[in-house]
Amino acid sequence: MKKILSFKLLIAVALMIFAVSCEETNKPEKIAVQKVTVSRTTKTLIVGEDFTIKATVEPSNATNKEVKWQSDDSDVASVDTNGKVKAIKAGTATITVTTVDGNKTATCRVTVEEKGSDITLLTNKSVIIEDFTADWCGPCYQGMKNIQKVLKDFDDRVLLVYHHINDNFGISESAILANAYKVTGIPAFMVNRTPGIGEAGILFHPGYLTKAMIDKQLAMENSVLISLKTTYSDSSKELKVNVSGKLLKDFPNARLNVYLVQDSIVAKQAGGGNNYAHRNALRKVLSQDGVWGDQLGITVGRFSKTYTYTIPDKIGKLATELNKMYVVAFVAEHHSTTEMKNNIVHNAIIKKIK
């Protein structure tokens, strides 16, 4: 009898060991964190302003994606557990995000300036994307979807302007650009008007846009500083725009371009239905010398220009809605309309009208 009980006990223990062994074997394999990146590597703020840094842990299926945030000078810029940075006083601070798994790090250098500084929000490098499109173009809708998917994590570092061709949105300046860049089919778009980003030429299909292309442009040296201020009078409907900045290198062919764009215009879009919200559509070129921009009056050093425009109730067939309108300003080279490869954009900025 004792032998039988001992045998049963041995079997029970063996089964328990087997069960534990199976449990260990069936546990999902831990996927380690390989790296972490941040949505901004530099940022300039005015005292009292704030912004949120987004951290991306790779691979996307890592087991533990928890991160911790730290400022090396919280008296200048503080950061909370969600990556929200607040500017406290003038100075510089480095914000570091660290993964709990693997202690991988990434940083953002934050510069804080006092209110009233004559150099405000100038140091950030931005990219402008210009897309040639139309509301009657079905493939354009698919191209728009990919652009917006890629840009969703870039906030104000990437500016988007749509040039509409032969539709209710289209204006003459967009047609001039399309002709100069030899747009023979849409959708077609360009990043900083720079050749070789997507293919051999300047234009390529928006379906080929990738995050890596944007990251590469943002990582380039910034040689043009730019800031933008808008004021609007409700009584006169007059918009005043001041653009100032500084050329850090000698750019004798640099010009200032100023665009008025309108966001979220609800209208038809082939492939997208009758209630599609059209993104930043170019409504007016404010540059006095037209589509190729105004000469800065200097080749190196500081510049400042002011523009005024009375916003009408309609532009073409579409109503204007002030709360959806923005000003986009950018400094670009202009050598000629035959050597388009040299007419690259140095830096750009966008500001809501207020």
Domains belonging to the chain, first-starting first, are 35-113 (2.60.40.1080), 127-352 (2.60.40.10)
Percent of the chain scored above 70 by pLDDT? 89
Given a cut of 60, whether residue 22 has pLDDT beyond it is no
Given a cut of 80, whether residue 339 has pLDDT beyond it is no
| pLDDT one-digit tens code per residue, 215-229 | 888 888 888 999 899
Cα–Cα nearest to 293, from 265, 333, 233, 346: 333
User: Cα–chain-centroid distance for residue 135?
Assistant: 24
Beta bridge partners of 56: 37
Beta bridge partners of 238: 310
The CA distance from 39 to 62, in Å, is: 19
Given a cut of 70, whether residue 292 has pLDDT beyond it is yes
Look at the block and give the residue holding tokens 């539709």.
167
User: Residue 121 — pLDDT band, cuts 50, 70, 90?
Assistant: very low
Q: Over the Cα atoms of the chain, what is R_g? A: 27
Beta bridge partners of 290: none
| pLDDT one-digit tens code per residue, 56-106 | 999 999 999 999 999 999 999 999 999 999 999 888 899 999 999 999 999
Which residues, at least 6 apart from 171, have a Cβ–Cβ distance to it below 8 Å?
A: 164, 282, 283, 284, 285, 315, 316
| Predicted TM-score of the model (pTM) | 0.69
pLDDT of residue 340: 83
